Structure 1
Amino acid sequence: MASQDLNAVMPAPAHPMANPGYGKRSAPDRQPSRPGGFDHLPPRERYIAAFIDRLPDGAAMDAKTLAKALPLYGQQAVRTALNELSRAGHLRRVRRRVESTATGDGGENVTRWVFRTYWSRTARDSEWWARLLDGDVPTEVTDGTSVAADQAAPATDAGDTAVQTKEEQQADQADPPRSPTEHPRPSAAYETLARLGRTEPRLALSAADCAALEDLAAAWLARGTTPAGLMQSLVAGLPEQVYSPRALVHRRLRDKMPPELPAPEEHPAPRARLIMECTECRVPGRPEALPGGLCRACRGGTTAEAPPQALPPTAVHVRAAQVREAIRMPLRA
């Protein structure tokens, strides 16, 4: 019996995942991972960036959780490193408004915010991150150039056309010829007319009758009528004796044709609202107000107003005289 190695190193616990909808979110990035991809960063930021890059989407990205997984640095060091990675263009914090399908006590829709940290293996400038929030992000191609996402389809030259034509010819030759006994499945309008005689024997139609009336029946279905509704309209209120089923069905299809439904108005799908946050203090703001992912205060500036300028000595004497006069007035009264 083999003895168990009690000195074996236990595997490290997996990095905790954030709640669904939160945590790390990989930004569109076509460049693969490669050694030395973060050599442009200082040692601490390089170490933390390599660790974050290996995390899966949805992993917790707060400084406390990262510090527990990184024994070399504490929470404050991790928080400072995240700010530096934001300045370098590798990450941005955003919040997104989500309309929940669940309803509150009063029956109204519940709106909640989810918080994500977008991570890019490639350093991006503030303009690129702003375009990401607007949904207009360029896609990287193999030669390093950048094209718009909706224009990424390559043009086809004559050589490609020739190759495609040859492949199509080979595919056509590989397909066995269809047997003369095989027929395509009839349309829903044709099937409805063919079943009409089974529902009402007085309206039994031949194959030629169904083919001649197929277009009219198809117009009914195109205007929103179901096959069951079409059949009900044709068999309702029949006379006791039907001498020409085809003529009767043709007249009913023509005279009882339902009106055309107006085309539904196309409403663009509401875009998910993304708001960028300061990487340090989490204050929300527009991308142009958060260059490098940091607000003015966290970048080392100040948001306080400039102190008022000192009054000249003559104005100070005038103000003092006015105050003394106001104090003496009650005493004189």
Structure 2
Amino acid sequence: MDTQNPSAPPRSRSADDGNPTRSRHHRGVIHENTRHTTRFVVIGNHLVQHPALSLLAIGLGCHIQSLPTGAGADIKSLTARFPEGPTRIAAALRELEAHGYLRRERVRTSTGRIITRTISCNQPGPRRAPADAARADRPPRPSAAPRQPRPSTPPGPSRPPRPTTRHPNPPPPPHPRPTATTTGPHPAPAPPKPLPAVPLPAVPHPAVPAPALLQQAADLLTGLRRHDPRLLLSATDTAHLAPGVAAWLERDVTPGAVRHALASALPDEPLRRPAALLAHRLTAQLPPPPPFRAPATPPPPRHTLRNCDRCDRAFRAPDSVPHCLECRTNGSPRL
């Protein structure tokens, strides 16, 4: 009984033996972390474990913070990226904006267009008003030097008081100019300035600007609106494009071919400047001039058959020749 049996099986080991982490946590999530060296973003637990944000808002905030600068973060781009609809994504964006993780500002570009700029904040804080932000970005003014006391002067003879004249009826003070007040944190944007008119591109001109050719070109341009209502041209645009169409017609291009080159394969969206599109096509697709062909020699004249006055044989000759070739050569008819 004092000897041990070496062939007895040892006790079965638990799955938690040798792993102190698993032995301490018996339920809940267990992390198996791997250190990231590339393609990662640092996101604070204040966003990931926010007690007031919805799960969609938390996930959307993490996705926006992982995007590079300049990527699309509007409702249309996010709806195309995720299966959620625009209503849920718009609600999640409003949640992030209310808790300081997102800020959307309307700015004006150099061309006068107003766009919405989305700013993602990885550390939310109190939002400053535009006037406070501009005052904070302004450099501090230098402190004014303390005033020096004036040196005391010995009392001298007092000067007599200067006479003053008063008007019996002084003019009323000017009314203050009313200032425009705006309600809300942002001032109302100023109306955009009208863009300067851009001239139409140049078009080719014919070598011989015949009036009949220019009139035919103007009629062709006027009829383009029957093929597409978007090609309705003004009188000024028609007069500018007519020499270009005349240059095509001068190069042996039929009016149907010119009409097909101008009115076919147009874009589906509305045309903002149809005259500029037609001017570009007239210049970019101008065909080369036709090859030179020498004028063909006219065929010899074919005279009618007539009978000789001497031998009564038929021959071809002008009306001024009364006899056939043989009678004119021999001088006598052949018997």
Instruction: Flag the structure with larger Rg.
Output: 2
* TM-score normalised by length of structure 2: 0.29
Query: Comparing both structures, which one devotes a greater share of its residues to strand?
Result: 1
Query: Comparing both structures, which one devotes a greater share of its residues to helix?
Result: 1
* TM-score normalised by length of structure 1: 0.29
**Higher RCO (CA < 8 A, seq sep 6+):** 1
